[in-house]
Protein backbone atom coordinates (compact mmCIF):
# COMPACT_ATOMS: atom_id res chain seq x y z
CA UNK A 1 0.00 0.00 0.00
CA UNK A 2 1.89 3.01 -1.34
CA UNK A 3 -0.92 5.51 -0.91
CA UNK A 4 -1.61 6.03 -4.62
CA UNK A 5 -5.20 6.15 -5.75
CA UNK A 6 -5.80 3.06 -7.97
CA UNK A 7 -9.50 3.60 -8.60
CA UNK A 8 -12.02 6.39 -8.13
CA UNK A 9 -15.40 7.00 -9.69
CA UNK A 10 -16.38 10.34 -11.32
CA UNK A 11 -18.30 11.53 -8.23
CA UNK A 12 -15.29 10.78 -6.06
CA UNK A 13 -12.98 12.68 -8.43
CA UNK A 14 -15.25 15.73 -8.25
CA UNK A 15 -15.31 15.51 -4.45
CA UNK A 16 -11.49 15.61 -4.47
CA UNK A 17 -11.64 18.68 -6.69
CA UNK A 18 -10.82 17.12 -10.10
CA UNK A 19 -12.82 16.93 -13.28
CA UNK A 20 -12.21 13.27 -14.19
CA UNK A 21 -10.91 10.08 -12.53
CA UNK A 22 -7.94 10.15 -14.93
CA UNK A 23 -6.58 13.19 -13.08
CA UNK A 24 -6.49 11.15 -9.86
CA UNK A 25 -5.76 7.47 -10.61
CA UNK A 26 -2.05 6.67 -10.38
CA UNK A 27 -1.23 10.34 -9.85
CA UNK A 28 -2.42 11.55 -6.47
CA UNK A 29 -1.90 9.98 -3.07
CA UNK A 30 -3.94 9.92 0.11
CA UNK A 31 -1.60 12.51 1.60
CA UNK A 32 -2.51 14.92 -1.24
CA UNK A 33 -6.17 14.86 -0.16
CA UNK A 34 -5.57 15.93 3.47
CA UNK A 35 -3.93 18.63 5.47
CA UNK A 36 -0.95 17.39 7.48
CA UNK A 37 -3.06 17.32 10.63
CA UNK A 38 -5.93 15.42 8.96
CA UNK A 39 -3.50 13.01 7.22
CA UNK A 40 -1.96 12.23 10.60
CA UNK A 41 -5.44 11.45 11.95
CA UNK A 42 -6.18 9.18 8.96
CA UNK A 43 -2.89 7.27 9.33
CA UNK A 44 -2.94 6.98 13.12
CA UNK A 45 -6.64 6.49 13.81
CA UNK A 46 -8.78 5.71 10.78
CA UNK A 47 -6.64 3.18 8.86
CA UNK A 48 -5.45 1.26 11.95
CA UNK A 49 -9.09 0.93 13.04
CA UNK A 50 -10.06 -0.33 9.57
CA UNK A 51 -7.19 -2.85 9.57
CA UNK A 52 -8.17 -4.06 12.99
CA UNK A 53 -11.92 -4.15 12.62
CA UNK A 54 -12.30 -4.47 8.87
CA UNK A 55 -13.73 -0.95 8.48
CA UNK A 56 -13.90 2.50 10.08
CA UNK A 57 -16.69 5.05 9.73
CA UNK A 58 -16.84 8.67 10.74
CA UNK A 59 -16.52 12.27 9.64
CA UNK A 60 -13.39 13.45 7.87
CA UNK A 61 -12.14 16.38 5.79
CA UNK A 62 -10.69 16.45 2.25
CA UNK A 63 -8.20 19.00 1.02
CA UNK A 64 -8.81 20.11 -2.58
CA UNK A 65 -6.24 21.48 -5.02
CA UNK A 66 -7.72 24.97 -4.71
CA UNK A 67 -7.15 24.87 -0.94
CA UNK A 68 -10.81 24.45 0.02
CA UNK A 69 -11.91 21.92 2.61
CA UNK A 70 -14.75 19.47 1.96
CA UNK A 71 -16.44 17.80 4.94
CA UNK A 72 -17.33 14.15 4.24
CA UNK A 73 -18.91 11.17 5.91
CA UNK A 74 -16.39 8.42 5.21
CA UNK A 75 -16.21 4.66 5.53
CA UNK A 76 -12.77 3.09 5.09
CA UNK A 77 -12.65 -0.65 4.33
CA UNK A 78 -9.56 -2.87 4.45
CA UNK A 79 -9.35 -4.95 1.19
CA UNK A 80 -7.48 -8.25 1.63
CA UNK A 81 -5.71 -10.48 -0.92
CA UNK A 82 -6.38 -14.20 -1.43
CA UNK A 83 -4.14 -14.95 1.50
CA UNK A 84 -6.21 -12.74 3.77
CA UNK A 85 -3.63 -10.01 4.06
CA UNK A 86 -4.56 -6.29 3.57
CA UNK A 87 -3.57 -5.28 0.06
CA UNK A 88 -5.36 -1.92 -0.30
CA UNK A 89 -7.88 0.38 1.34
CA UNK A 90 -11.27 1.25 -0.11
CA UNK A 91 -13.26 4.37 0.80
CA UNK A 92 -16.90 5.37 0.44
CA UNK A 93 -17.55 9.08 0.95
CA UNK A 94 -20.63 11.31 1.16
CA UNK A 95 -20.40 15.08 0.78
CA UNK A 96 -21.53 16.70 4.06
CA UNK A 97 -21.39 20.31 2.84
CA UNK A 98 -25.14 20.86 2.75
CA UNK A 99 -25.68 19.00 6.02
CA UNK A 100 -22.94 21.04 7.70
CA UNK A 101 -24.44 24.25 6.32
CA UNK A 102 -27.85 23.23 7.60
CA UNK A 103 -26.36 22.33 10.98
CA UNK A 104 -24.59 25.69 11.09
CA UNK A 105 -27.79 27.54 10.26
CA UNK A 106 -29.67 25.55 12.89
CA UNK A 107 -26.97 26.30 15.43
CA UNK A 108 -27.09 30.00 14.60
CA UNK A 109 -30.87 29.95 14.92
CA UNK A 110 -30.60 28.10 18.22
CA UNK A 111 -28.02 30.60 19.48
CA UNK A 112 -30.23 33.52 18.42
CA UNK A 113 -33.30 32.06 20.10
CA UNK A 114 -31.33 31.28 23.25
CA UNK A 115 -29.96 34.84 23.28
CA UNK A 116 -33.43 36.34 22.81
CA UNK A 117 -34.87 34.17 25.59
CA UNK A 118 -31.96 34.85 27.93
CA UNK A 119 -31.94 38.61 27.41
CA UNK A 120 -35.70 39.19 27.24
CA UNK A 121 -36.91 41.62 29.94
CA UNK A 122 -39.73 39.22 30.89
CA UNK A 123 -39.58 35.90 32.69
CA UNK A 124 -39.61 33.05 30.14
CA UNK A 125 -39.82 29.41 31.16
CA UNK A 126 -40.55 26.01 29.64
CA UNK A 127 -41.93 23.01 31.52
CA UNK A 128 -42.20 19.36 30.52
CA UNK A 129 -45.83 18.43 30.03
CA UNK A 130 -45.58 15.15 31.96
CA UNK A 131 -44.62 16.37 35.44
CA UNK A 132 -44.37 20.14 34.82
CA UNK A 133 -40.68 20.31 35.70
CA UNK A 134 -38.74 23.34 34.47
CA UNK A 135 -36.33 22.68 31.61
CA UNK A 136 -35.73 26.31 30.55
CA UNK A 137 -35.61 29.38 32.81
CA UNK A 138 -34.14 32.71 31.67
CA UNK A 139 -32.17 35.37 33.54
CA UNK A 140 -35.14 37.70 34.03
CA UNK A 141 -36.97 34.78 35.65
CA UNK A 142 -34.07 34.19 38.05
CA UNK A 143 -34.13 37.87 39.03
CA UNK A 144 -37.88 37.86 39.53
CA UNK A 145 -38.30 34.73 41.65
CA UNK A 146 -34.99 35.26 43.45
CA UNK A 147 -33.54 31.81 42.70
CA UNK A 148 -30.79 30.56 40.40
CA UNK A 149 -31.75 28.36 37.50
CA UNK A 150 -29.64 25.49 38.86
CA UNK A 151 -32.10 25.45 41.78
CA UNK A 152 -35.07 25.61 39.39
CA UNK A 153 -34.26 23.30 36.48
CA UNK A 154 -35.54 19.77 36.90
CA UNK A 155 -37.98 20.84 39.64
CA UNK A 156 -41.61 21.85 39.69
CA UNK A 157 -43.61 24.49 41.55
CA UNK A 158 -44.07 22.33 44.64
CA UNK A 159 -40.30 22.40 45.24
CA UNK A 160 -40.13 26.11 46.09
CA UNK A 161 -43.61 27.71 46.27
CA UNK A 162 -46.09 27.41 49.16
CA UNK A 163 -48.40 24.40 48.64
CA UNK A 164 -51.54 26.42 47.96
CA UNK A 165 -49.75 28.61 45.44
CA UNK A 166 -48.10 25.59 43.80
CA UNK A 167 -51.51 23.90 43.48
CA UNK A 168 -52.93 27.03 41.83
CA UNK A 169 -50.04 27.22 39.34
CA UNK A 170 -50.30 23.50 38.56
CA UNK A 171 -54.05 23.67 38.01
CA UNK A 172 -53.60 26.57 35.57
CA UNK A 173 -50.81 24.68 33.76
CA UNK A 174 -53.03 21.62 33.34
CA UNK A 175 -55.77 23.81 31.86
CA UNK A 176 -53.26 25.20 29.36
CA UNK A 177 -52.02 21.74 28.36
CA UNK A 178 -55.56 20.58 27.64
CA UNK A 179 -56.29 23.45 25.26
CA UNK A 180 -54.91 24.97 22.08
CA UNK A 181 -53.99 28.62 21.82
CA UNK A 182 -52.67 31.21 24.24
CA UNK A 183 -53.97 31.17 27.82
CA UNK A 184 -53.94 34.69 29.28
CA UNK A 185 -53.71 35.20 33.06
CA UNK A 186 -54.04 39.00 33.58
CA UNK A 187 -53.10 38.89 37.25
CA UNK A 188 -51.13 36.08 38.83
CA UNK A 189 -49.89 36.55 42.43
CA UNK A 190 -46.51 34.99 43.24
CA UNK A 191 -44.45 34.86 46.43
CA UNK A 192 -40.81 35.45 45.51
CA UNK A 193 -37.72 34.67 47.56
CA UNK A 194 -36.35 38.23 47.67
CA UNK A 195 -39.03 40.65 46.47
CA UNK A 196 -41.95 39.33 48.49
CA UNK A 197 -45.41 39.21 46.94
CA UNK A 198 -45.48 40.26 43.27
CA UNK A 199 -48.21 40.37 40.65
CA UNK A 200 -47.53 38.90 37.21
CA UNK A 201 -49.28 39.11 33.88
CA UNK A 202 -48.66 35.67 32.42
CA UNK A 203 -49.37 34.10 29.05
CA UNK A 204 -48.99 30.36 28.55
CA UNK A 205 -49.27 28.01 25.59
CA UNK A 206 -48.84 24.29 25.04
CA UNK A 207 -46.16 23.10 22.61
CA UNK A 208 -46.66 19.90 20.61
CA UNK A 209 -43.99 17.50 19.39
CA UNK A 210 -43.59 15.94 15.92
CA UNK A 211 -46.20 13.32 16.82
CA UNK A 212 -48.75 16.11 17.53
CA UNK A 213 -48.91 15.25 21.22
CA UNK A 214 -48.35 17.96 23.84
CA UNK A 215 -44.74 17.88 25.03
CA UNK A 216 -44.08 21.21 26.74
CA UNK A 217 -45.62 24.29 28.29
CA UNK A 218 -44.20 27.73 27.44
CA UNK A 219 -44.82 30.64 29.81
CA UNK A 220 -43.99 34.35 29.56
CA UNK A 221 -44.56 36.51 32.65
CA UNK A 222 -44.31 40.28 33.09
CA UNK A 223 -43.99 41.76 36.57
CA UNK A 224 -46.83 44.31 36.72
CA UNK A 225 -46.62 45.02 40.45
CA UNK A 226 -45.49 48.62 40.00
CA UNK A 227 -48.09 49.16 37.28
CA UNK A 228 -50.85 47.85 39.57
CA UNK A 229 -49.64 50.06 42.40
CA UNK A 230 -49.61 53.02 40.00
CA UNK A 231 -53.12 52.14 38.79
CA UNK A 232 -54.32 51.94 42.39
CA UNK A 233 -52.69 55.29 43.08
CA UNK A 234 -54.31 56.79 39.99
CA UNK A 235 -57.66 55.37 41.07
CA UNK A 236 -57.15 56.88 44.51
CA UNK A 237 -56.15 60.20 42.98
CA UNK A 238 -59.18 60.11 40.66
CA UNK A 239 -61.42 59.54 43.66
CA UNK A 240 -59.72 62.43 45.45
CA UNK A 241 -60.12 64.51 42.29
CA UNK A 242 -63.83 63.68 42.09
CA UNK A 243 -64.18 64.71 45.72
CA UNK A 244 -62.23 67.92 45.06
CA UNK A 245 -64.37 68.69 42.00
CA UNK A 246 -67.47 68.09 44.05
CA UNK A 247 -66.17 70.43 46.74
CA UNK A 248 -65.28 73.02 44.09
CA UNK A 249 -68.75 72.78 42.57
CA UNK A 250 -70.22 73.29 46.03
CA UNK A 251 -67.84 76.19 46.63
CA UNK A 252 -68.81 77.75 43.29
CA UNK A 253 -72.47 77.50 44.17
CA UNK A 254 -71.73 79.08 47.55
CA UNK A 255 -69.70 81.76 45.76
CA UNK A 256 -72.64 82.48 43.45
CA UNK A 257 -74.89 82.75 46.49
CA UNK A 258 -72.35 85.03 48.14
CA UNK A 259 -72.08 87.14 45.01
CA UNK A 260 -75.84 87.53 44.90
CA UNK A 261 -75.79 88.48 48.59
CA UNK A 262 -73.05 91.06 48.01
CA UNK A 263 -74.84 92.46 44.97
CA UNK A 264 -78.19 92.84 46.70
CA UNK A 265 -78.02 92.48 50.48
CA UNK A 266 -74.89 94.59 51.02
CA UNK A 267 -75.71 97.25 48.47
CA UNK A 268 -79.16 97.88 49.92
CA UNK A 269 -77.91 99.29 53.26
CA UNK A 270 -75.07 100.99 51.36
CA UNK A 271 -77.62 102.84 49.21
CA UNK A 272 -79.42 103.83 52.39
CA UNK A 273 -76.21 105.24 53.85
CA UNK A 274 -75.49 107.19 50.67
CA UNK A 275 -79.07 108.44 50.37
CA UNK A 276 -79.36 109.55 54.03
CA UNK A 277 -75.93 111.22 53.85
CA UNK A 278 -77.11 113.25 50.85
CA UNK A 279 -80.42 114.00 52.59
CA UNK A 280 -78.60 115.09 55.73
CA UNK A 281 -76.31 117.32 53.70
CA UNK A 282 -79.30 118.85 51.92
CA UNK A 283 -81.41 119.40 55.04
CA UNK A 284 -78.74 120.50 57.47
CA UNK A 285 -75.78 121.26 55.24
CA UNK A 286 -75.57 124.95 56.26
CA UNK A 287 -75.67 124.06 59.93
CA UNK A 288 -72.79 121.50 59.74
CA UNK A 289 -69.47 123.07 60.60
CA UNK A 290 -65.94 121.88 61.32
CA UNK A 291 -65.61 118.29 62.45
CA UNK A 292 -69.31 117.54 61.90
CA UNK A 293 -68.98 118.49 58.24
CA UNK A 294 -65.83 116.39 58.03
CA UNK A 295 -67.63 113.38 59.52
CA UNK A 296 -70.37 113.62 56.89
CA UNK A 297 -67.80 113.87 54.11
CA UNK A 298 -65.99 110.81 55.47
CA UNK A 299 -69.27 108.84 55.56
CA UNK A 300 -70.08 109.80 51.95
CA UNK A 301 -66.56 109.06 50.69
CA UNK A 302 -66.47 105.74 52.54
CA UNK A 303 -69.80 104.73 51.03
CA UNK A 304 -68.46 105.50 47.55
CA UNK A 305 -65.27 103.56 48.33
CA UNK A 306 -67.33 100.62 49.59
CA UNK A 307 -69.39 100.64 46.43
CA UNK A 308 -66.19 100.56 44.35
CA UNK A 309 -64.86 97.63 46.38
CA UNK A 310 -68.11 95.70 45.96
CA UNK A 311 -68.07 96.37 42.21
CA UNK A 312 -64.43 95.21 41.97
CA UNK A 313 -65.14 92.12 44.07
CA UNK A 314 -68.08 91.16 41.88
CA UNK A 315 -65.98 91.64 38.75
CA UNK A 316 -63.20 89.50 40.23
CA UNK A 317 -65.68 86.77 41.18
CA UNK A 318 -67.24 86.80 37.71
CA UNK A 319 -63.84 86.65 36.04
CA UNK A 320 -62.81 83.66 38.14
CA UNK A 321 -65.89 81.75 36.95
CA UNK A 322 -65.69 82.74 33.27
CA UNK A 323 -64.40 80.08 30.88
CA UNK A 324 -61.73 80.93 28.33
CA UNK A 325 -62.52 81.51 24.66
CA UNK A 326 -59.17 80.59 23.18
CA UNK A 327 -57.86 81.49 19.74
CA UNK A 328 -54.67 82.85 18.17
CA UNK A 329 -54.29 86.59 17.56
CA UNK A 330 -51.69 89.34 17.19
CA UNK A 331 -50.09 90.23 20.51
CA UNK A 332 -48.75 93.52 19.13
CA UNK A 333 -52.20 94.68 18.01
CA UNK A 334 -53.69 93.80 21.41
CA UNK A 335 -50.99 95.74 23.27
CA UNK A 336 -51.50 98.78 21.01
CA UNK A 337 -55.28 98.65 21.56
CA UNK A 338 -54.87 98.56 25.33
CA UNK A 339 -52.30 101.38 25.24
CA UNK A 340 -54.63 103.49 23.07
CA UNK A 341 -57.43 103.08 25.65
CA UNK A 342 -55.12 104.23 28.45
CA UNK A 343 -53.67 107.12 26.43
CA UNK A 344 -57.16 108.48 25.82
CA UNK A 345 -57.69 108.84 29.56
CA UNK A 346 -54.39 110.66 30.20
CA UNK A 347 -53.96 113.15 27.37
CA UNK A 348 -52.72 115.76 29.84
CA UNK A 349 -49.72 113.59 30.85
CA UNK A 350 -46.32 113.60 29.19
CA UNK A 351 -45.68 109.88 28.64
CA UNK A 352 -43.16 108.17 26.38
CA UNK A 353 -44.65 104.93 25.07
CA UNK A 354 -42.49 102.11 23.71
CA UNK A 355 -44.21 99.02 22.37
CA UNK A 356 -41.82 96.32 21.13
CA UNK A 357 -42.43 93.27 19.02
CA UNK A 358 -44.93 90.87 20.56
CA UNK A 359 -45.61 87.54 18.82
CA UNK A 360 -48.94 85.91 18.21
CA UNK A 361 -50.68 84.89 21.40
CA UNK A 362 -52.90 81.90 22.06
CA UNK A 363 -55.63 82.67 24.59
CA UNK A 364 -58.77 84.60 25.45
CA UNK A 365 -58.32 87.97 23.71
CA UNK A 366 -60.84 89.85 25.87
CA UNK A 367 -59.33 88.66 29.15
CA UNK A 368 -55.76 89.29 28.03
CA UNK A 369 -56.69 92.82 26.98
CA UNK A 370 -57.85 93.39 30.57
CA UNK A 371 -54.43 92.18 31.75
CA UNK A 372 -52.67 94.74 29.53
CA UNK A 373 -55.09 97.50 30.64
CA UNK A 374 -54.60 96.72 34.34
CA UNK A 375 -50.80 96.67 34.04
CA UNK A 376 -50.66 99.79 31.86
CA UNK A 377 -53.11 101.64 34.12
CA UNK A 378 -50.87 100.84 37.10
CA UNK A 379 -47.81 101.95 35.17
CA UNK A 380 -49.45 105.32 34.36
CA UNK A 381 -50.75 105.79 37.90
CA UNK A 382 -47.51 105.00 39.74
CA UNK A 383 -45.35 107.04 37.34
CA UNK A 384 -47.33 110.29 37.54
CA UNK A 385 -44.57 111.89 39.57
CA UNK A 386 -42.19 111.52 36.63
CA UNK A 387 -41.87 113.96 33.76
CA UNK A 388 -41.71 112.42 31.31
CA UNK A 389 -43.07 109.05 32.39
CA UNK A 390 -41.69 106.14 30.40
CA UNK A 391 -43.76 103.02 29.81
CA UNK A 392 -42.46 100.10 27.81
CA UNK A 393 -44.06 96.84 26.61
CA UNK A 394 -41.67 94.11 25.44
CA UNK A 395 -41.48 90.34 25.07
CA UNK A 396 -39.19 87.39 24.49
CA UNK A 397 -39.74 83.68 23.88
CA UNK A 398 -38.21 80.65 25.58
CA UNK A 399 -39.59 78.05 23.18
CA UNK A 400 -42.42 76.70 25.32
CA UNK A 401 -43.72 80.07 26.45
CA UNK A 402 -43.85 83.76 25.60
CA UNK A 403 -42.86 86.18 28.36
CA UNK A 404 -44.29 89.72 28.21
CA UNK A 405 -43.14 92.61 30.38
CA UNK A 406 -44.60 96.04 31.23
CA UNK A 407 -41.98 98.43 32.62
CA UNK A 408 -42.35 101.96 34.03
CA UNK A 409 -40.05 104.49 35.71
CA UNK A 410 -42.48 105.20 38.52
CA UNK A 411 -42.36 105.07 42.31
CA UNK A 412 -41.93 101.29 42.54
CA UNK A 413 -42.34 99.24 45.71
CA UNK A 414 -40.29 97.54 48.40
CA UNK A 415 -39.57 93.93 47.35
CA UNK A 416 -39.94 92.90 51.00
CA UNK A 417 -43.69 93.42 50.50
CA UNK A 418 -43.74 91.25 47.35
CA UNK A 419 -45.85 88.45 48.91
CA UNK A 420 -48.81 90.84 49.22
CA UNK A 421 -48.55 92.09 45.64
CA UNK A 422 -51.10 89.87 43.86
CA UNK A 423 -53.53 89.33 46.74
CA UNK A 424 -57.15 90.47 46.73
CA UNK A 425 -57.56 93.91 48.39
CA UNK A 426 -53.81 93.96 49.08
CA UNK A 427 -52.29 97.42 48.49
CA UNK A 428 -48.71 98.56 49.01
CA UNK A 429 -49.64 102.26 49.03
CA UNK A 430 -52.26 104.29 50.88
CA UNK A 431 -55.30 105.89 49.24
CA UNK A 432 -53.74 109.28 49.96
CA UNK A 433 -50.70 108.29 47.85
CA UNK A 434 -52.43 106.42 45.03
CA UNK A 435 -56.11 105.58 44.54
CA UNK A 436 -57.19 101.97 43.91
CA UNK A 437 -59.13 98.97 45.22
CA UNK A 438 -56.39 96.29 45.35
CA UNK A 439 -58.17 94.09 42.82
CA UNK A 440 -56.31 94.86 39.57
CA UNK A 441 -53.23 92.69 40.09
CA UNK A 442 -55.35 89.91 41.58
CA UNK A 443 -57.33 89.96 38.32
CA UNK A 444 -54.09 89.80 36.33
CA UNK A 445 -52.94 86.75 38.27
CA UNK A 446 -56.34 85.06 37.92
CA UNK A 447 -56.44 85.51 34.13
CA UNK A 448 -52.86 84.39 33.54
CA UNK A 449 -53.28 81.38 35.84
CA UNK A 450 -56.38 80.35 33.84
CA UNK A 451 -54.15 80.39 30.75
CA UNK A 452 -51.57 78.14 32.43
CA UNK A 453 -49.05 81.00 32.78
CA UNK A 454 -47.17 82.80 35.55
CA UNK A 455 -46.99 86.37 36.88
CA UNK A 456 -44.17 88.06 38.76
CA UNK A 457 -42.59 91.46 39.24
CA UNK A 458 -39.29 93.21 39.93
CA UNK A 459 -38.92 96.70 41.36
CA UNK A 460 -36.32 99.24 42.43
CA UNK A 461 -38.06 102.02 44.45
CA UNK A 462 -38.09 105.40 42.65
CA UNK A 463 -36.30 103.91 39.63
CA UNK A 464 -38.34 101.33 37.73
CA UNK A 465 -40.81 98.49 38.08
CA UNK A 466 -41.42 95.62 35.68
CA UNK A 467 -44.41 93.29 35.74
CA UNK A 468 -44.02 90.04 33.81
CA UNK A 469 -46.51 87.42 32.71
CA UNK A 470 -46.00 84.27 30.66
CA UNK A 471 -48.28 82.47 28.23
CA UNK A 472 -47.86 79.11 26.45
CA UNK A 473 -46.34 79.61 22.99
CA UNK A 474 -48.95 80.05 20.25
CA UNK A 475 -48.28 76.53 18.90
CA UNK A 476 -49.05 74.99 22.31
CA UNK A 477 -52.53 74.08 23.44
CA UNK A 478 -53.98 76.26 26.19
CA UNK A 479 -56.00 74.20 28.66
CA UNK A 480 -58.61 75.65 30.98
CA UNK A 481 -56.78 76.03 34.30
CA UNK A 482 -59.57 77.37 36.40
pLDDT per position as a tens digit, 348-405: 888 899 999 999 999 989 889 989 988 998 888 888 778 898 999 999 988 788 999 9
User: What's residue 298's pLDDT?
Assistant: 76
- What is the average per-residue pLDDT within 37-43? 94
Q: Look at residue 32 and tell me whether its pLDDT is greater than 90.
A: yes
User: What's residue 381's pLDDT?
Assistant: 86
CATH fourth-level superfamily of 10-95: PAS domain (3.30.450.20)
Q: Look at residue 150 and tell me whether its pLDDT is greater than 70.
A: yes
Rounded Cα distance, 241 and 243, in Å? 5
User: What's residue 482's pLDDT?
Assistant: 46
CATH number of this structure's domain 102-223: 3.30.450.20
Domain boundaries, the chain: 10-95, 102-223, 229-319, 324-472
Share of the chain above pLDDT 90, in %: 51
pLDDT, mean over the chain: 86
Rounded Cα distance, 106 and 84, in Å? 46
DSSP 367: H
Q: Look at residue 424 and tell me whether its pLDDT is greater than 90.
A: no
Neighbours of 377 (CB within 10 A): 17
User: What's residue 426's pLDDT?
Assistant: 56
Lowest mean pLDDT among 23-37, 237-251, 265-279: 265-279
Helix, strand, or coil (residue 470): strand
- What is the average per-residue pLDDT within 276-290? 74
DSSP 423: S
Q: Is 98 exposed, middle or buried (0-12, 13-18, 19+ CB in 10 A)?
A: exposed
3-state helix, strand and coil shares in percent for the chain, rounded to the nearest 5: 50, 25, 25
Pairwise pLDDT comparison (283 vs 210), residue with the higher score: 210
Chain centroid, CA 197 distance in Å: 27
Same topology, domains 102-223 and 324-472? Answer is: no
Angle at which helices 365-382 and 440-450 cross, to 10°? 150
Relative to beta strand 351-355, strand 389-397 is parallel
Q: Which residue, 308, 375, 311, 376, is CA-closest to 346?
A: 376
Task: Please name the residue ranges forming H helices in 350-455.
Answer: 365-382, 440-450
Pairwise pLDDT comparison (329 vs 429), residue with the higher score: 329
Q: In what order do the strands lie in the sheet with 455-460?
A: 351-355, 389-397, 401-408, 464-472, 455-460
Beta pairing partners, 207: 216
- What is the average per-residue pLDDT within 443-471? 89
Architecture of 324-472 per CATH? 2-Layer Sandwich (3.30)
User: What's residue 366's pLDDT?
Assistant: 86
User: What's residue 308's pLDDT?
Assistant: 66
Rounded Cα distance, 252 and 395, in Å? 35
Lowest mean pLDDT among 109-118, 152-161, 319-328, 331-340: 319-328
Amino acid sequence: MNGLHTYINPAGARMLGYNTPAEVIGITRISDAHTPEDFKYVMEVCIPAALKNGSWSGENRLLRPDGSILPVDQTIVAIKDKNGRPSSMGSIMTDLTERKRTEQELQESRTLIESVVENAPFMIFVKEAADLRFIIFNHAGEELVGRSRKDLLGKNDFDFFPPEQAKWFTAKDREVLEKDGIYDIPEEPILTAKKGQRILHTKKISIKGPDKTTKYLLGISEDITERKLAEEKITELNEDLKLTVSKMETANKELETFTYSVSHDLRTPLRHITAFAKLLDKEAGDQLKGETRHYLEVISASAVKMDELITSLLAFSKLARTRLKVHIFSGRELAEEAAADIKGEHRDREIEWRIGEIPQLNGDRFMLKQVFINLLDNAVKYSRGKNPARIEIFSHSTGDETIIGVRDNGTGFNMKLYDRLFGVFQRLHTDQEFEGTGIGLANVKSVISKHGGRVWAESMPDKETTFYFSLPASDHEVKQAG
